[in-house]
Amino acid sequence: MKKTLRIFTLSIILILISLQFGFTLIPKPDKGKIQINFKHVVGNDVLKLDSTHYKNELGQGYTISKFKYYIGKIHLKNTKGKDFISKDYFLINEDEDLSKQINISDIPNGTYTSIHFILGVDSLHNCSGAQSGALDPLNAMFWAWNTGYVFLKLEGNSSFSKSPGGMFEYHIGGYKQPTNCIRQINIDLSLTPLIINSKTSQVNLKCDASELLKTPTPIDFSVLSSVTDLKNAELIANNYSDMFSILTTNNEK
C-alpha cells in the first residue's frame, strides 16, 4: 500500500513539474506540413478572368477566360541531402480559389532549400486508365486513352486572333517523344529556406500566365491562335517552363 502511494505521489510530482516548466511527457512529432499557395499574375498585374485587358510581347491586346494546369511529383531537398517526394497530382484552376492552395503532410522536419515539381502528368498516370481526384476525366483535362491528359489550358480572346469570335486556345499535352510537353520546374529556396518543424509552413509561388506567350517564342495571335493537338505543343511548353517563381516562405514557429 505504501509503495503504491509513493508511486502515485511521484507521478503527481512529475506532472506538476512538467506543467510548471512547459515540459511534456509526449514526444514531439518529427514531421510537419507545407501549404503551397499559387498566385496567378500576368506580368505585373493580378490575373482576372474575362475582365482585364493585357498585351503580349507584340503589343496585341487580349483577355483570359480560362487558366488551369496540372502539377505533380513535388520534391523537396533539405540541407542534409535528404529528399521528400509526394506522389500526388494537383489541378490548379484560376476559377477555383481552393485549388490554388495545396497541402502536403508527413514531411520530415528539416530545412529545405529547393522545391521541384513537374508541370504535366507522367507517362505512368497517362496510361493508367480512369482515375479519381485531380486526375478524374470529369475535370475536362483528358483527351482520349491514346493521347492522355491535357497538362495546361489557356483560353481567351484577342481582336488579333483569326479564330471565330477572336478566340485563342492553347491545350497542351503529350508525354511521348518526340513531343514531350512535361516540364520540370525548379524553385530555389536557398535565400528563403523552408523550415519544417512539426507545424505547417507556407511556400508562396507566383505563376505568370504571360510567360506562355513570351520566351523563347513570342506568340502572334494572328498566326497561332489555337494549339489543341501535338503540333506546336512543345513550342508552348518551352514557353511555360519558366512561368513559376518564389514569392515568400512563411515558417510557423
Tell me: the pLDDT tens digits for 105-145?
A: 999 999 999 999 999 999 999 888 778 899 999 999 998 76
What's residue 199's pLDDT? 81
Structural element, H or E, at residue 5: helix 2-21
What's residue 140's pLDDT? 93
114 found inside a domain:
yes
Mean pLDDT of 7-21: 56
21 found inside a domain:
no
- pTM, two decimals, is 0.86
Query: Is the pLDDT higher at 183 or at 7?
Result: 183
- Quick one: cell of 159? 481582336
Lowest mean pLDDT among 193-202, 219-228, 232-241: 193-202
What backbone phi and psi angles, to 5 degrees, belong to 5? -65, -40
Indicate whether 250 pLDDT > 60.
Answer: yes
Domain that holds residue 213: 28-250
10 found inside a domain:
no
238 found inside a domain:
yes
- Tell me the C-alpha distance between 225 and 168, whole Å: 5
What's residue 8's pLDDT? 55
Lowest mean pLDDT among 14-18, 87-91, 95-99, 168-172: 14-18
According to DSSP, the residues that pair with 63 across neighbouring strands are 157
pLDDT in tens, 59-88: 999 999 999 999 999 999 999 888 999 999
pLDDT in tens, 140-181: 999 876 678 999 999 999 999 999 999 999 999 999 888 999
4 found inside a domain:
no
As for how many domains the chain has, the answer is: 1
**Residue 246 is which amino acid?**
I
156 found inside a domain:
yes
Share of the chain above pLDDT 70, in %: 87
Q: Which pLDDT band, with edges at 50, 70 and 90, does 37 fall under?
A: very high
16 found inside a domain:
no
22 found inside a domain:
no
What's residue 82's pLDDT? 85
